Amino acid sequence: MSASRTRNEELARAEKMRRDFTANVSHEMKTPLQVISGYAELMANGLVPPEDVPRFAKLIYDESQAMRALIDDVLVLSRLDEVAPDAEDAADVDLSAAAEHVAQRLAKPARDAGVRLRVQLEPVLVRGNETLLEQMIYNLVENGIRYNREDGLVIVETSEERAADNAQVAIVRVSDTGAGIPPDKRDKVFERFYRLEKSRSKETGGTGLGLAIVKHAALYHGGDVTVESQEDKGTCFTVRLPVASSSSGSCGSSG
């Protein structure tokens, strides 16, 4: 196959992905917009009894927050798709500090969901964008809470490991005790707008872009993300990134 043909096929695939993404974003935005518009119209026309106004207002607020979350995630993905890593904007980031901050932010949602949140953190530095790295960890932990079971557990670990090529790599590992992911679905969970349990996703919220952001943020920083899972036992996501400098530590157990 010629280089030009290969290039054309790659461009065609990229264009198809862009079209599909645009169509999915439009579809995902229609639902909250329809709810907001419908309830707002009823209120504007005086068709809502006074005692129901607070309930309608809350529905409008909730749907607007869902739309805001979707727009935020779309903007992040667009940035990851289009902007190459800029060495001038990069800084040394301690993944343990980022994970600790995420755990603090998600402590209340975890309690509200009846999920225990545990951290096992060892300092490890990577070179990159602190905001993106923290969002990557946030998405993994939030996902572990959202799709867990009552009295479940989410463990967040950071450490440094030696890779197969003997290089040191930074590790972020998030494991949960949820329902697990069937073997044939494990690669799909990183696709944009893919939802393993559509009915559950509707209940718990989520944009369907969280794990796609994790994947692309890892790639953006020269790393990758893998998933291991056992149905009815739980799931473990592992992000591996190049270290910025040597730091002591080894991977802890998620058992």
Q: Mind listing the domains of the chain with CATH numbers?
A: 3-82 (1.10.287.130), 91-242 (3.30.565.10)
Q: What's the CA gap between 254 and 189, in Å, rounded?
A: 21
Ramachandran quadrant class, 114 (left: phi over 0; alpha: psi -120 to 50; beta: rest): left
72 neighbors 78 (Cβ within 8 angstroms): no
Q: Collapsing DSSP states into helix, strand and coil, what is residue 227? A: strand
Question: pLDDT truncated to tens, each residue of the chain (255 aa)?
Answer: 566 666 665 556 555 555 666 666 666 677 778 889 998 999 999 999 999 999 999 989 988 888 887 788 777 777 776 655 555 578 899 999 999 999 999 999 999 999 999 999 999 999 999 989 999 999 999 999 999 999 999 999 999 998 877 788 999 999 999 989 988 888 888 887 776 665 444 455 566 788 999 999 999 999 999 999 998 899 999 999 999 864 444 333 333
Output phi, psi for 221, to 5 deg. -95, 15
Residues 6 or more apart whose CB falls under 8 angstroms from that of 150 comprise 113, 114, 115
158 neighbors 95 (Cβ within 8 angstroms): yes
Provide the whole-model pTM: 0.73
Q: Collapsing DSSP states into helix, strand and coil, what is residue 91? A: strand
